[in-house]
């Protein structure tokens, strides 16, 4: 087995046994980047020199007999909307093409405290707006499982890097499914933690009430290890929760006996691919065989989740993206006066989808339309959250597809934005309700494309999700 | 759902975006299609339903009013498109 195909915990065991060095692992992953990156395009920036120097430092530490952390010396990718001090952070936008953050995002500084090896900054849909990574301002990313297909998005670079052996694990961000859907398309594990579990300080804001950083990994154990590293309260993010962070590795128990798992009927309706549905139903049968109780449930407002999300997220985005005005950072295109300068900058440097969402957002927020669109969506958001609260009175977890289909072809959806939005039906409800969810691989289609299933948990109960996900993984 | 040319101009102006005459029909058609889709929300009775801005309960956070180190000025200006004498520099705002 190649080093670049192993999990973080397997590599950690080899490192502590001194069977391999961090330099060897890093060289192996960088060789893989050289081999496949032209075809896949997972990265915006590759931090080769830093990676080699950091690996050397880890090896020196090991040779001095010092103890190393669970992720020490393990190569990783970080989505390019997570600020890294001194390392270009573009959000895959021309407007931030030359932006070098003067500070680290909290999630990255917490991760960096464990000394993993940063291989690079991962490609994404511009400002995390999209589900295919085709909206990157620089280049598309291709699905390592089938180069004609998209890797999903918006964390498509992060998921593709992990699937292709260009990183062992990655950080992504998830506003409406942007970790879980690419994980499912690329056949890897991806988790969106509870809103507030991971600090958003230094995450380039898209929709502040929905955004959350999370892990993309090769297995559930690595997911728990990365979640351990990045979780916790942060004074710099007033929405980060003060709740205690458990050691998520203690949740890695191969036992679902007695767990009550709900199957929401609204997630298995028209539009879902029959192979995806069959694969998710097989997971339910398997969980039942392993001792869980499968319960049919209803989340009646699911049909309204897309409308609700695509009014709230663009409204927040339109507000957040006001800061790109060509003044304090980012690109500037000159103009005769300050308004013309700002208009030139934004018109020329934002991509089509970003401009579309800014227009939708400002329309929904504008005088005369605010009540009918934005306020209405906020009220329906309450009903969607109540559906989950009601369901969680009788179940511990909810099982659903991650996406209605496996990865689609490059170019297939770009001409129809609304069709692309409808792909998010299984993932956006969690963001609206602030709940945690994971996507786990569960087989492939007849065409060989990965299928993912989703486990949804109660707020702050990532542990039960990890327990059931781990059990599925061990018994698949 | 019809969107007028005036609406498009107003929203573009609020957004500090320029929409050319060639782009306007497409932008209008896409916005109309989107607004038609989200009409489904109007069928839901939301009388007496409180809006949710944040899904989980969050409270105002207080901290001691203490002076702490902040970003140094040269670092804060390091990404500025144009800076001079420790200030951000922008095109003329006021007529003189």
CATH number at residue B10: 1.10.20
User: Cα separation of B2 and B4, whole Å?
Assistant: 6
B54 touches chain A (CB under 8 A): yes
Domain of A29?
Answer: 3-251
Q: Are residues A171 and A47 in the same domain?
A: yes
Q: Are residues A217 and A315 in the same domain?
A: no
Whether the per-residue pLDDT at A288 is higher than 90: the answer is: yes
Whether the per-residue pLDDT at A289 is higher than 90: the answer is: yes
Which A positions 80-119 lie with beta carbon below 8 A of chain B?
98-100, 102-103
pLDDT tens figures, A65-84: 999 999 999 999 999 999 99
- Cβ-proximal residues to B16 (8 Å cutoff; 6+ apart), any chain: A325, A339, A342, A343, A346
- Answer whether residue B10 is part of any domain: yes
- Answer whether residue B36 is part of any domain: yes
Whether the per-residue pLDDT at B93 is higher than 90: the answer is: no
Q: In the listed set A317, A341, A372, which residue is the last one of a domain according to the structure? A: A372
Residue A399: its H or E element: strand A397-401
The pLDDT of residue A4: 82
Q: In the listed set A204, A231, A251, which residue is the last one of a domain according to the structure? A: A251
Report the C-alpha dihedral over residues A127, A131, A136, A139, rounded to 10 degrees: 160
Q: Are residues A338 and A200 in the same domain?
A: no
Predicted ipTM? 0.95
Contact A237, A200 (CB under 8 A): yes
Contact A182, A452 (CB under 8 A): no
Whether the per-residue pLDDT at A181 is higher than 90: the answer is: yes
| Identified catalytic residue from A109, A132, A154, A240 | A154
Contact A112, A74 (CB under 8 A): no
Judged on CB neighbours under 10 Å (0-12, 13-18, 19+), A286 is middle
As a whole number of Å, the CA-based R_g of chain B is 23
- Cβ-proximal residues to A401 (8 Å cutoff; 6+ apart), any chain: A267, A268, A272, A276, A277, A280, A426, A451, A452, A453, A454
Q: What percent of chain A has pLDDT over 90?
A: 96
Instruction: State how many domains chain A has.
Output: 2
Identify the band that residue B56 occupies on the pLDDT scale cut at 50, 70 and 90: confident
- Answer whether residue A407 is part of any domain: no
Whether the per-residue pLDDT at B57 is higher than 90: the answer is: no
Which A positions 237-256 lie with beta carbon below 8 A of chain B?
238-239, 241
pLDDT tens figures, A353-367: 999 999 999 999 998
Q: Residue B26: which of A351, A235, A416 has the closest Cα?
A: A416
Q: Are residues A15 and A93 in the same domain?
A: yes
User: Cα separation of A183 and A216, whole Å?
Assistant: 7
- Answer whether residue A14 is part of any domain: yes
Nearest to A362 among B11, B79, B92 (CB): B11
Supply the pTM of this predicted model: 0.98
Q: Between chains, do A327 and B31 touch, taking CB under 8 Å as contact?
A: no
What is residue A417's three-state secondary structure? Answer: helix
Pairing, β A117-122 against β A189-192: unpaired
**CATH code at A164?**
3.90.1300.10
Whether the per-residue pLDDT at A159 is higher than 80: the answer is: yes
Q: Are residues A233 and A315 in the same domain?
A: no
Q: Residue A422: which of A197, A161, A181 has the closest Cα?
A: A181
The pLDDT of residue B96: 67
Residue A178 known to be catalytic:
yes
Identify the band that residue A118 occupies on the pLDDT scale cut at 50, 70 and 90: very high
Domain of B20?
Answer: 5-43
Q: What percent of chain A has pLDDT over 70?
A: 100
Q: What is the mean pLDDT of residues A201-219?
A: 98
Residue A355 known to be catalytic:
no
- Answer whether residue B50 is part of any domain: no
Average pLDDT along chain A: 97
Q: Between chains, do B79 and A329 touch, taking CB under 8 Å as contact?
A: yes
Contact A145, A36 (CB under 8 A): no
Whether the per-residue pLDDT at A337 is higher than 90: the answer is: yes
- Cβ-proximal residues to A235 (8 Å cutoff; 6+ apart), any chain: B63
pLDDT tens figures, A236-249: 999 999 999 999 99
Whether the per-residue pLDDT at B95 is higher than 80: the answer is: no
Instruction: State how many domains chain B has.
Output: 1
Contact A170, A158 (CB under 8 A): yes
């Amino acid at each position: 087995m190649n080093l670049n195909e192993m999990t973080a915990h397997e590599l950690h065991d080899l490192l502590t046994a001194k069977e391999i060095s961090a330099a060897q692992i890093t060289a192996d992953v960088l060789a893989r980047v050289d081999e496949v990156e032209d075809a896949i395009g997972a990265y915006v920036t590759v931090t080769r020199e830093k990676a080699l120097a950091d690996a050397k430092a880890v090896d020196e530490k090991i040779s001095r007999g010092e103890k190393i952390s669970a992720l020490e010396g393990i190569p990783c990718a970080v989505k390019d909307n997570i600020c890294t001090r001194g390392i270009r952070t573009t959000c895959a936008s021309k407007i931030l093409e030359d932006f070098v953050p003067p500070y680290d995002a909290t999630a990255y500084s917490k991760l960096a405290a464990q000394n993993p090896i940063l291989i690079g900054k991962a490609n994404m849909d511009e400002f995390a707006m999209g589900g295919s990574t085709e909206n990157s301002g620089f280049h598309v990313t291709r699905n390592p499982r089938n180069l004609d297909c998209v890797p999903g998005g918006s964390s498509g670079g992060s998921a593709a890097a992990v699937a292709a052996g260009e990183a062992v694990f990655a950080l992504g961000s998830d506003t409406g499914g942007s970790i879980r859907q690419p994980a499912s398309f690329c056949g890897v594990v991806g988790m969106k933690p509870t809103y507030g579990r991971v600090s958003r300080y230094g995450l380039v804001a898209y929709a502040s009430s929905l955004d959350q950083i999370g892990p993309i990994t090769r297995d559930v154990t690595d997911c728990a290890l990365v979640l351990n590293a990045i979780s916790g309260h942060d004074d710099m993010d007033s929405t980060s929760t003060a709740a205690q962070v458990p050691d998520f590795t203690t949740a890695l128990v191969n036992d679902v006996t007695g767990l009550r798992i709900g199957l929401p009927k609204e997630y298995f309706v028209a539009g879902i691919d029959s192979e995806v549905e069959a694969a998710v139903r097989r997971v339910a049968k398997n969980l039942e065989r392993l001792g869980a109780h499968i319960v049919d449930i209803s989340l009646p407002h699911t049909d309204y989740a897309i409308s609700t999300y695509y009014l709230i997220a663009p409204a927040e985005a339109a507000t957040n993206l006001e800061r790109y005005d060509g003044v304090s950072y980012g690109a500037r295109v000159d103009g005769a006066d300050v308004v013309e300068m700002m208009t030139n900058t934004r018109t020329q440097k934002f991509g089509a989808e970003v401009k579309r969402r800014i227009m939708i957002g400002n329309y929904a927020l504008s005088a005369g339309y605010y009540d009918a669109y934005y306020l209405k969506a906020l009220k329906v958001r309450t009903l969607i959250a109540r559906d989950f609260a009601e369901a969680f009175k009788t179940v511990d977890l909810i099982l659903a597809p991650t996406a209605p289909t496996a990865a689609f072809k490059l170019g297939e959806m770009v001409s129809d934005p609304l069709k692309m939005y409808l792909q998010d039906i299984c993932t956006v409800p969690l963001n609206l309700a602030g709940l945690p969810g994971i996507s786990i691989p569960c087989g492939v289609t007849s065409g060989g494309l990965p299928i993912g299933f989703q486990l949804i948990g109660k707020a702050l109960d990532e542990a039960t999700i990890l327990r059931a996900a781990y059990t599925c993984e061990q018994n698949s | 759902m019809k969107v007028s040319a005036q609406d498009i101009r107003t929203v573009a102006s609020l957004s500090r975006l320029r929409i050319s005459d060639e782009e306007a029909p497409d932008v209008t058609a896409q916005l109309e299609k989107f607004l038609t889709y989200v009409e489904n929300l109007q069928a839901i009775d939301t009388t007496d339903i409180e809006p949710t801005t944040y899904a989980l309960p969050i409270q105002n956070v207080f901290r001691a009013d203490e002076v702490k180190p902040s970003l140094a000025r040269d670092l804060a200006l390091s990404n500025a498109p144009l800076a001079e004498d420790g200030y951000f520099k922008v095109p003329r705002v006021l007529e003189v």
